[in-house]
Amino acid sequence: MNRSSWRWLVPLSVVPLLALLAWGLTQDARRLPSALEGSEAPAFSLANLYDPSDSISLSDFGGKVVVLNFWASWCQPCVAEHPVLVRLRERYDPEDVALVGVLFQDRPENGKLFMERLGGEWPLVNDPGSRTAIRYGVYGVPETFFVGADGVVALRHDLPVTWDLVASKVDSLLGARGRGGVSSASEGGC
Amino acid sequence: MPLMRYAARLLGAPRYRPGPTASRQLASRLLAAALILASATDAAAAQTVDGALDGAEKPTASENAAANPDIENRTARIGARLRCPVCRQQSVAESSSRIAREMQDVIREMLVQGRSEQEIEAYFVEAYGPWILLKPRAEGINLVVYLGPAAALLLGLLFLARRFRAMHRAAHVATSADRPADRQDPPEAAEIDRRRPSKRDRAWIESAIRGS
């Protein structure tokens, strides 16, 4: 290796390293990509929060767009996103879009109390031992999974959902299903 | 700030995923604790967040598995290779967080079902992604982590060897320059050295002269 080659070797090895470090600084280390996006949503069958003898399964919503929301009564961001979920339930036909709440590491009584205080009606299930949450790769709440009518996870959102996000994602999934979005979904702002 | 954090802990604020900033996270925890305390007043029942968690359905690990030291050892071994989703810097085996304990229960149950350690790791990787492994797999871009230090060491050694050789050559040239007899060009000096008679030849020449 001659002298000029060595002269280039140092910048060639150091510059990519510095570029990698600079890129790393622009990334949010707390955000993690979901391994499930693009994969089939794991099946589950969990007890209804209001009637433990009744179970609710993902397969009950076959052919629909499913918004699967992991939440807890002790989670303040869940309080913040709740109005968006209420609006989702009001604006979209349950025949097209299913909203399912999975209670995460919480007591069923507290979950019911939370819903009584904040309102909203959609299927709620209990997840003892967080088995379903672990299967979905949940690491905190709120986390929301948007599952297409084909049963494939289109998006995992690990922060409180916003109306813009919900409307755009649900509309695109409904569009993919071939029935088109519900017109009222994109009316007005939050 | 530590005082506020201590107050939050006293209030029993749960640990959930870190929020956008530490202060916002702390505020969220305090608000969550306040909400639960308010709920407790309404419901005329003592319900703190910790209370809520205590009353929640617990993971149901198999008692047989817990009594089996082999299962426990293997659970700990697999748990040591998985990252706690909440603590991030700790393994599932080390972490005392609730999700880590639940993950250990899942591992235990899968071992009881006869699943291999590789299958169990694959299960968690499928759910959480390769990030869940504390030791990245030696494949794809991860190879940089494994090969990078060795390559850097090799380059460093090559660099040092080259530097030493240059220093040695410079020292040799300086020493040669000090000797008046060797002030010729290096190739010529080498030729003179080559033609110089050896010690044995010199002894033979001297004995021949003495004999004559």
pLDDT grade for A104, boundaries at 50, 70 and 90: very high
Query: Contact, B33 vs B11, CB < 8 A?
Result: yes
Query: Contact, A129 vs B53, CB < 8 A?
Result: no
What would you measure as the largest C-alpha separation in chain B, in angstroms?
A: 131
Closest CA relative to residue A185, chosen from A175, A177, A41, A176: A175
Write the residue in A77, A133, A136 that is nearest to B28 by C-beta. A77
pLDDT grade for A1, boundaries at 50, 70 and 90: low
Taking CB atoms and an 8 Å limit, are A129 and B19 in contact across chains?
Answer: no
- The amino acid at residue A104 is F
Query: Contact, A57 vs A126, CB < 8 A?
Result: no
Read off the pLDDT of residues A44-101 as tens digits, 9 standing for 90 and up: 999 999 999 999 999 999 999 999 999 999 999 999 999 999 999 999 999 999 999 9
Cα torsion angle, A180, A181, A187, A188, sign? negative
B87: Cβ–Cβ under 8 A, 6 or more apart, which residues?
Answer: B95, B97, B100
**For position A127, what pLDDT does the model report?**
97
Q: How many Å lie between the alpha carbon of B85 and the closest alpha carbon of chain A?
A: 5
Chain B, nearest residue to A110 by Cα: B52
> ipTM of the predicted structure?
0.84
Interface test with A, best of B62, B84, B102, B155 (most A CBs within 10 A): B102
pTM (2 decimals)?
Answer: 0.67
Q: Give the bridge partners for A146, in sequence order.
A: A67, A155
Taking CB atoms and an 8 Å limit, are B60 and A131 in contact across chains?
Answer: no
Q: Percent of chain B at pLDDT above 70?
A: 61
CA–CA dist B4, B168 (Å, integer): 64
Taking CB atoms and an 8 Å limit, are B32 and A75 in contact across chains?
Answer: yes
Size of interface A-B (CB pairs under 8 A): 117
Taking CB atoms and an 8 Å limit, are A139 and B60 in contact across chains?
Answer: no
Read off the pLDDT of residues A111-169 as tens digits, 9 standing for 90 and up: 999 999 999 999 999 999 999 999 999 989 999 999 999 999 999 999 999 999 999 99
Taking CB atoms and an 8 Å limit, are B85 and A35 in contact across chains?
Answer: no
Taking CB atoms and an 8 Å limit, are B28 and A136 in contact across chains?
Answer: no
**For position A4, what pLDDT does the model report?**
67
Read off the DSSP letter of residue A152. B
Read off the pLDDT of residues A47-63 as tens digits, 9 standing for 90 and up: 999 999 999 999 999 99
Q: Is a pLDDT exceeding 50 seen at residue B56?
A: no
Structure tokens at B144: 């940089």
Residues of A within 8 A of B32 (CB-CB) are: 74-76
CA–CA dist A110, A79 (Å, integer): 13
Closest CA relative to residue A149, chosen from A185, A101, A181: A181
Query: Contact, A157 vs A165, CB < 8 A?
Result: yes
Sole residue written with tokens 């599952």: A147
Q: Is a pLDDT exceeding 50 seen at residue A181?
A: no
Q: Give the bridge partners for A102, in sequence order.
A: A70, A125
Taking CB atoms and an 8 Å limit, are B39 and A1 in contact across chains?
Answer: no
Residues of A within 8 A of B24 (CB-CB) are: none
Query: Contact, B117 vs B128, CB < 8 A?
Result: no
Read off the pLDDT of residues B102-147 as tens digits, 9 standing for 90 and up: 999 999 999 999 999 999 999 999 999 998 999 988 888 888 888 8
Chain A residues with CB-CB distance to B under 8 A?
1, 6, 9, 13, 30, 32-36, 39, 42, 72-77, 79, 105-107, 109-110, 113-114, 117, 126, 128-131, 133-141, 158
Rounded to whole angstroms, what are the CA distances from B210 to B196, B197, B202? 21, 18, 12
Taking CB atoms and an 8 Å limit, are A140 and B28 in contact across chains?
Answer: no
- Core vs surface per residue A149-185: b (16+ CB within 10 A) or e: bebbbbbbbbbbbebebbbebbbbbbeebeeebbeeb
pLDDT grade for B148, boundaries at 50, 70 and 90: confident
Chain A, nearest residue to B152 by Cα: A13
Read off the pLDDT of residues B69-99 as tens digits, 9 standing for 90 and up: 999 999 999 999 999 998 888 999 999 999 9
Taking CB atoms and an 8 Å limit, are A75 and B16 in contact across chains?
Answer: yes
Residue A50 — φ and ψ, nearest 5°? Answer: -90, -20
Read off the DSSP letter of residue A106. S
Sole residue written with tokens 């050789």: B165
Taking CB atoms and an 8 Å limit, are A134 and B99 in contact across chains?
Answer: yes
CA–CA dist A115, A66 (Å, integer): 20
Q: Is a pLDDT exceeding 70 seen at residue A23?
A: yes
- Core vs surface per residue B157-179: b (16+ CB within 10 A) or e: eeeeeeeeeeeeeeeeeeeeeee
pLDDT grade for A9, boundaries at 50, 70 and 90: confident
Residues of A within 8 A of B19 (CB-CB) are: 77
